Structure 1
Amino acid sequence: MASSKTDGSDSEWWRGAVIYQIYPRSFMDSNGDGIGDLPGITSRLEHVAGLGVDAVWVSPFFRSPMKDFGYDVSDYRAVDPLFGTLADFDAMLARMHALGLKLIIDQVLSHTSDQHAWFSESRSSRDNPKADWYVWADPKPDGTPPTNWLSVFGGPAWQWDSRRRQYYLHSFLAEQPDLNFHCAEVQQALLGEVRFWCERGVDGFRFDACNHQFHDALLRDNPPASLASIGEVSTVRADNPYAMQQHLYDKSQHENLAFLEGLRRLLDEYGAVALGEVGDENAPPVMAQYTELGKRLHLAYSFSLLTADHSPAHLRHQVEALDSALAPTGGWGCWAVSNHDVPRVATRWSGGGAPDTRRDRLWLALLLSLRGSASIYQGEELGLTEAEVPFELLQDPYGRAFWPEFKGRDGCRTPMPWTGEAPNGGFTTGTPWLPVYGPHLPLAIERQAADADSMLAFSRTLLSWRRTQPLLRTAGIRFFDTQEPRLLHFERYGDGASPLQAIFNFSGEPVSMPLPDGLTPLVGQPLAATSVIHTSDGKRMLQLAPYGVFFGASAGEG
């Protein structure tokens, strides 16, 4: 039976919300098979609710051959037996709502598994009822693929099928054929799959690779990329040939806007929210179109802060670029510094250094201070580092294809450590699908919960404090130039309140700067001990400790 939703009086709860991402395979295993599942998630929801987040995004749990671990769906309406049953889903949803949490589920509409019944019928002939449901094309006269398009996972994006004697398009794995969104029946069928979960009471959807939903109907080749044309944020590594093209024709097509408008009309019937993943080399304009106020998606996020570059200049540029793009459309963004596809931020932004809780606190404080919503990936609240997974235990096909230069995505997907003493960190009583990383055990939730100075305690405190600062949820953002390149300085302003200023020291050394006139530390800020105000040559100076953070307001405010 579907669960009733939480109080929907705040129809814009998503604006400025904090969303906690759960990767089901690695969160909690309830039955000892070594794979996390829905009952496991339900059993650990008190931890999530205790953080103070607003919603939970659960990565795919649908029936799947698991070639891409659930992002290859073979039945949109069935829970894969690895994860449980529909009854388990309903119980999880009911528990979330009882704890005051919203549920966002992952929907993969751009492609299916090659084991989906739709594809089995489509590939059977050129004249069956679903013959045009996928992107089929004849070869060139010399037998080569119809275009030069490439797969994100390496190699051509076309796979030969001997039955139809045609190629089919796959933007990702060959086992993930792309649906043909130019076919009206496909669009209607997918809206039906979304409606199924709306009827069960979900609060929203995270639409995977949503800018891949249309391809160029004329099948034009992509031009080669250049530094000037491809932009500064690539969705893949530079050693992947996918980065060598401007992806003008294989994704981010204009026709997608009309589909998203139809999707929004459906979601509005149920008060459900749409969060879109936009993997594009020039994401801000696409995100602005996709989130145009009231028309399409509610909010979208990109890979802009999931890169290796974490300099203040880079971060400022990315935030300002998105803010400028969204301003004319009234759109809304969502930021993340870690997820299931990239190395964990505690390692990726360490500069090769050892783990440092001070640095972890800075990243989380920054994420929760930017304009937009925020997504926290499971384990980020613990300061988990990227795990080392030996090749013989690697599961990710992406990593196996590019090893050893790229070790894949398994390092951010290893199981959550719940207790430091129990076998496998309390994740499972069996053999985990990926090994529990030894250095994660001292960071286990049970241990950190007993330590008032732990990263977990800080995460809870920071999230609780953020709820008392309305400017951090919905206000505007404006950056200030600094003489010190290691500092990032901006303010959140609007709603008739005194602006809130934030200053971050990205250095492992103390850094000082003149304190703006009238600015005083904000009362109750969780990182007050990382900054000191003193006088030098008659000027008030702010000294930030290594990786220090300062939140301030004008005198007499806050």
Structure 2
Amino acid sequence: MTEAPWWTSAVVYQVYPRSFADSDGDGVGDLPGLTARLDHLQRLGVDVVWLSPVYASPQADNGYDISDYQAVDPVFGTLEDFDRLLADLHARGMKLIMDLVVNHTSDEHPWFVASRSAKDDPKRDWYWWRPPRPGFAAGEPGAEPTNWESAFSGPAWTLDETTGEYYLHLFDRKQPDLNWENPEVRHAVHAMMRWWLDRGVDGFRMDVINLIAKDPALPDGAPIGRGALGDGFPHFGTRPRCHDFLRELHREVFGDRRGRYLTVGEMPGVTWEQARLFTDPARGELDMVFQFEHVSLDHGPGGKFDPEPLDLRDLKASLGHWQRALAETGWNSLYWNNHDQPRVVSRFGDDGRWWRESATALGTVLHLHRGTPYVYQGEELGMTNAPFGGIDDLRDVESLNHYRQAVAAGADPEAVLRGLRAMGRDNARTPVQWDASHAAGFTTGEPWLPVNPNHSWLNARAQYDDPRSVFHHYRRLIELRHALPVVALGDFRMLLPDDPRVYAYTRSLDGTTLLVVANLGGDDRVAVVDGEWSAADVVLSNVDRVDVDGGRIALGPWAAHVLVR
């Protein structure tokens, strides 16, 4: 039997450095701050740190707009600081993967500065440039080369006055898209990645990597509503050329060193059929993908900022389907939170009366699926959404653009704010709550984004010595993955798919069966499952009272049990 890859039993911890820990009092997290807090990650027991971008950047999208791939932005420190962090992580037995953003660069990257300088510049074709739509003059309404809408609202094209042509940006106007059809672009990206591997990093999380292959014809998309903008996704999302590009990247960057590194592709809109191709080891593309189906289930008719209550049956159908789809070929990534998602305990849990119970129940349900779990900073503490007072409290470009556009179109400002408070990305970006002191111990200065006021009681220091804390529950979940092969490699079977409150499943491997059963609601429930189980089989629970009688398991509000026999 082939030995399973190391990352099947690993747990990844995402650090959003701007909000993790500040060492110099300027209110922005940095690399020395992260290094000083590695004891926290070691105590938690994680295996890999995924570091969100620390490259040189104008920070239009908080670092996902890169102006120099081989430099650290001064706000985060220096390359020497990075090297010290990496050495310390390796000394502690942990790995580090970099966040790689190569669908686009900053408009201040030297590549784009050259590209926009003249139509005949050698780097002109490194980006997507097009003249105005036929029959229109540059700058006229509707003159954009296609009707595609940007992910951050408005047209996906911006006119550059220097040459009178438009450049494509699927995200912010300061994030022009690279033209991967140009082999020079691909070779430059490969060389940069090899440079980081030679420096010692252990892999890459690749941002929106399924958007790198555009249809060169750049056709219009289907109209969105009654507006002039259209949905261009069919023309740039997960196109067949993307597989070609990723196979080439894997071959040119990793060569025969396969298995040593971790590669993760963030892929909006990816289907399980596509994911199985991307993660099939025989194809040599990626180890796993991030898919978004399960974190889109509460999006209402108006999109993500029009949330509606989650139906647990939909969640079970979604996650269960992905478990089955990648059971034989490929691999799942498991996550509730990241820098783009609101806090799960506020989103799918109860961050009031049942805060601790719901945070730990949701963690239990997620972590014991088949796949590699990702913990986003503060999730292991049960951090919640923030009580943003108004639009002036927000910093995220997506939220600000949405508010401006929605209000201009006549939407009620308070209704728009409600959606942003629930689903905005700033919820994930409030500083990590280390203790009850000023700014939660994140900084000695004023934090770039206000600290959640509940840090007075919700913080790491308060949880370290509490064996019932969210932190220690997450620590024990990670221990189970490390200790029990059935967690990493067992088969998956969903139970009670039609129960609107109970989430239950089994994992099985070599005669060992693991049962996860959780009540994801505030009322008492009873779960009836196959087999003869007893309280003696419980290896982890988030509550003190365990009532197991054969196949009948009584569950209090947000109770979660893990049983093994």
Runs of 5+ in structure 2 lacking a partner? 137-142, 299-308, 404-412
The counterpart of 1:252, out of the listed 220, 238, 253, is 238
Following TM superposition, by how much is the alpha carbon of 1:16 offset from its aligned partner in structure 2, in angstroms? 3.9
The reply on whether 1:305 has 2:294 as its aligned counterpart is yes
1:100 maps to a residue whose letter is G
Distance 1:429 1:105, change over 3 A: same
Quick check: 1:162 aligned with 2:161? yes
The alpha-carbon deviation at position 179 of structure 1 amounts to 0.2
Q: What CA RMSD, in Å, does the superposition of the two structures yield over aligned residues?
A: 2.3
Residue identity in the other structure for 1:261: R
Give the SS at the match of 1:57: strand
- Whether contact under 8 Å (1:346, 1:355) holds in the other structure is no
Does the 8 Å CA contact 2:365/2:503 hold for their aligned counterparts? no
Please give the residue correspondences for 1:163-242 in structure 2 after superposition, counting only pairs within 5 Å: 163-224=162-223
Alignment of 1:218-367 (within 5 A): 218-224=217-223, 245=231, 247-265=233-251, 266-270=253-257, 271-280=260-269, 282-294=270-282, 295-307=284-296, 308=298, 310-327=310-327, 330-350=329-349, 356-367=355-366
Matched, 1:549 2:555: no
Aligned to 1:431: 446
Where do 1:438-449 residues align within 5 Å?
A: 438-449=453-464
Q: What is the match of residue 84 of structure 1?
A: 77
Are the aligned partners of 1:147 and 1:219 in contact in 2 as well (CA < 8 Å)?
yes
Query: What letter is aligned with 2:386?
Result: A
Taking the aligned partners of 1:64 and 1:240, their CA distance within structure 2 comes to 33
- Summarize the alignment of residues 405-420 of structure 1 with structure 2, pairs less than 5 Å apart: 405=416, 406-407=419-420, 408-420=424-436
1:146-192 per-position Cα deviation (integer Å, ceiling 9, x unaligned): 21211100011111112222111101000000000111110111111
Q: What residue identity is the alignment partner of 2:234?
A: L
Q: Which runs of 5+ in 1 are unaligned?
A: 1-8, 227-238
Cα gap change, 1:200 to 1:395, in 2 (>3 Å)? same
- Counterpart among 52, 61, 80 of residue 54 in structure 2: 61
Task: Give the corresponding residue for 1:462.
Answer: 477
Q: Equivalents in 2 of 1:487, 1:240: separation in Å?
A: 42
Structure 1 distance, partners of 2:394, 2:521, is: 34
Q: Distance in 2 between matches of 1:299 and 1:513?
A: 33
The match for 1:12 is: 5
Task: Give 1:52 shift.
Answer: 1.1
Q: Give the number of equivalent residue pairs.
A: 525
- Does the C-alpha gap of structure 1 residues 324 and 224 become closer, same or farther in structure 2, counting only changes over 3 Å? farther
Distance apart, 1:267 and its partner CA: 2.2
Question: Are 2:541 and 2:561, in contact at CA under 8 Å, matched by a contact in 1?
Answer: no
Distance change in 2, residues 1:355/1:141 (3 Å):
farther
Q: 1:240 to 1:448 in 2, by over 3 A?
A: farther
**Is residue 267–residue 273 contact of structure 1 (8 Å, CA) maintained in 2?**
no
SS at match of 2:6: coil
Give the counterpart letter for 1:267 in structure 2.
F
Aligned residue in 1 for 2:139: none
Q: Per-residue deviation at 1:472? A: 1.2
How many angstroms does 1:296 deviate by?
Answer: 0.3
Query: SS of the residue aligned with 1:321?
Result: helix
Match for 1:471 among 486, 490, 493?
486
CA distance in 2, matches of 1:366, 1:149: 38
Higher helix proportion: 2
Is contact 1:299-1:332 (8 Å) kept? yes
Partner of 1:532: 547
Local SS of the residue matching 1:524: strand
| CA distance in 2: counterparts of 1:325 and 1:482, whole angstroms | 17
Please, what TM-score do these two structures have when normalized by structure 1?
0.89
Structure 1 residue 223: deviation in Å?
A: 2.5
> Cα–Cα, structure 1 residues 331 and 463, in superposed 2: closer, same or farther, change >3 Å?
same
CA distance in 2, matches of 1:418, 1:279: 32
Return the alpha-carbon distance in structure 1 between the equivalents of residues 538 and 525 of structure 2: 22
In the TM superposition, residue 515 of structure 1 has moved relative to its aligned partner by: 4.1
Instruction: Report the 3-state secondary structure (helix = DSSP H, G, I; strand = E; otherwise coil) of the residue aligned with 1:552.
Output: strand
Per the alignment, in what secondary structure is the counterpart of residue 95 of structure 1? Answer: helix
Distance 2:545 2:102 in 1: 45
Q: Deviations over 1:420-442 (max 9, x none)?
A: 1x211111111111111111231
Q: d(CA) in 1 for partners of 2:445 and 2:542?
A: 40
Deviation sequence 1:312-344 (CA, Å, 0-9, x none): 31222212332343346x211201101111111
Report matched runs for 1:365-380 at 5 Å.
365-380=364-379
User: Percent same amino acid among aligned pairs?
Assistant: 37
In the superposition, the TM-score normalised over structure 2's length comes to 0.88
Relative to structure 1, the CA distance from residue 42 to residue 79 in structure 2 (aligned partners, 3 Å threshold; closer, same or farther) is same
1:383-402 mapped onto 2 (5 Å cutoff): 383-389=382-388, 390-402=390-402
* Equivalent-residue separation in structure 2 for 1:480 and 1:453 (angstroms): 27
